[in-house]
Structure 1
Amino acid sequence: MLRDRTDSRAALWRTAAGQRGYFTAAQAMDAGYSYQAQRYHAQHGNWLVVDRALYRFREFSDLPGEGDEQLVRWWLWSKGRAVVSHATALAVHDLGTANPSRIHLTVPRGFRQKSDAVILHRAELPESDVEDRMGYRVTTPLRALVECAADDDDQDVLDGAVAEALEQGIVTRRKLLHAAQLMGSRAELGVERALGAVS
């Protein structure tokens, strides 16, 4: 029996290690933990309860963070369907001064979950607009810039982010304008203003 528990912990640890220590109740079940065993580990402090059916190994909370651990939590909350986007994606890419008070996530149109801690945007994202990170997914810098322009976010924040993206060679003016045109007139106007501020 001890061997079974050791195997279950090792299996769950492997899953959680790629998700900054976070794991879902379903992942724990797949690793061999019954709901009764999950309740036991949560009640005895072996696992930190993050949200309903969402846990984190205590050991990971003691490690120095990289600043984006909470994004893994929201990716798991969405059952892997959400992509970090808009101003939150700009912060992930370290472009400009974006520091949104709530997490921006793009989810499929039929997504039903809600939380006051997040702002949900509904869209079907092409794979070319998404990057994988350790434990979550995020829109590319180009997509994040035009999303913010389309949402008519703070123009000063957008101006700074566009300037940094151009300076670092992450995007070109041409690609940025083209992506904005595809996103719509509001995105196009915001990007044109930001490019004008760079000139």
Structure 2
Amino acid sequence: MPGDRQALRHRLYALAAEQAGYFTAAQAVQIGYSHQAQKYHVDHGNWTRVDRGIFRIPEWPAGPNDGLVRWVLWSKHRAVVSHDSAAAAYGLGLLNPAKVHLTVPPDFRMSDPVVVLHRGVLPDSDVTTLEGATITTVLRTVLDVIESHFDEELVASVVDDAVATGGVTAGLIRRRMHELSPDARLRADRVLAGTSS
């Protein structure tokens, strides 16, 4: 029996390692923890309940983007961290979002007061993973910020940082500008005019 418990714990920690220490009740069941066992681990401080059906290993070291994993799990892996939250996670620009920005499929029905939902379908080429969280690529993030913000100084801070860090080039942004609305294309033109390729 102790060997079985140790094997379960090992599988749980292996999963949690990929998700910044987080895991869901459904994932725990798949590993072999009954709902009764889950309650036991929460009651005894082995797991921390973060939200309904979402747990975290209490001693897991904290990272700057850990909370983003929690929201991807909350969405049942249907959301992608995007827009302001993705820019902040990459350290781009002056954005400091008070809410978590997620891109979700058009039929997504969940909501939470601390989440801003952007509806759309992202191609696989615009999605990556950062510290366990599904997140838009730097290029997609830049395009989303250009589209969603009118403050050109703020947009320029994101674009400049993305180009300076090598995450994208001005040329790559220009090649994808056809995806933007007419106003956002004009904004991008003005911002890129001051950016070196």
Taking a change above 3 Å as real, the CA distance of residues 153 and 102 of structure 1, as seen in their structure-2 partners, is: farther
The equivalent of 1:27 in structure 2 is: 27
**AA in 1 matched with 2:169:** T
Deviations 1:21-67 (A, max 9, x none): 1000011111111101111111221110100000001111xx2x330
RMSD (Å), alpha carbons? 1.6
Partner residue, 2:99: 102
Q: What 5-or-longer segments of structure 1 have no aligned partner?
A: none
Aligned residue runs from structure 1 range 49-68, under 5 A: 49-60=49-60, 63=61, 65-68=62-65
- What is the alpha-carbon distance in structure 2 between the residues aligned to residue 7 and residue 153 of structure 1? 53
Work out the CA distance in 2 between the residues paired with 1:173 and 1:21.
36
Alpha-carbon distance in structure 2 between the residues aligned to 1:7 and 1:165: 43
Task: State the partner residue of 1:147.
Answer: 144
1:175 to 168, 172, 178: 172
User: Does the 8 Å CA contact 1:149/1:190 hold for their aligned counterparts?
Assistant: yes
State the alpha-carbon separation in 2 of the partners of residues 130 and 153 from structure 1.
24
Query: In 1, distance between residues paired with 2:150 and 2:55?
Result: 33
SS at match of 1:50: strand
Structure 1 pair 56–168 and aligned structure 2 pair: CA distance change class (3 A): closer
4+ runs of 1 displaced by more than 6 Å?
none
- Counterpart in 2 of 1:191? 188
Q: TM-score, normalised by structure 1?
A: 0.91
1:39 equivalent in structure 2: 39
TM-score, normalisation: structure 2:
0.92
Does the 8 Å contact 1:9/1:31 carry over to 2? Answer: no
Going from structure 1 to structure 2, the CA distance change for 1:104 and 1:6 (only over 3 Å counts) comes to same
| d(CA) in 2 for partners of 1:137, 1:71 | 8
Residue 116 (str. 1) matches residue 119 (str. 2): no
How many correspondences in the alignment?
196
Could you list the runs of 5+ residues in structure 2 that have no partner in the other structure? none
